[in-house]
Amino acid sequence: MAGFDMNALFQQAQQLQEQMKHAQEELAKKQVTGTAGGGMVVVTANGKGEMLKVQIDPKVVDPKDVAMLEDLVLAAVNSALRAAQALAQSQAGPLAGLKDMFPGMVP
């Protein structure tokens, strides 16, 4: 096994880990929205999938039909989470497979 440098491999893994950390930090700064009911309910999330804001059009608030509002909020949240996942996948680029390649080394 001449020429195999374990230190070089370890340094590359550290560099990849730093790149992944930076990519995750940048992703957390981006925002996506999910909507339901034709924009009557809007949920804003960040790239980490954390909900940041929920906006509900007052026209949707009907005390006699709380179930509809609950369904709209749930649909908007799920839409925002799907958008956050799509953003994360699109931003991963060449780092996308690192978690599988180096389990336990990449956050």
Give the long-range contacts of residues 83-90, CB within 8 A, separation 24 or more: 83/32, 83/33, 83/34, 83/45, 84/32, 84/45, 84/46, 84/47, 84/48, 84/49, 85/49, 86/32, 87/27, 87/30, 87/32, 87/47, 88/27, 88/47, 88/49
Q: How far apart are CA 88 and CA 51, in angstroms?
A: 15
Q: Which residues of the chain, if any, have pLDDT below 70?
A: 1-3, 93-107
Give residue 48's pLDDT: 83
pTM of the shown model? 0.66
Strand partners, 36: 41
Domains of the chain: 29-67 (3.30.1310.10)
pLDDT, tens only, 57-83: 999 899 999 999 999 999 999 999 999
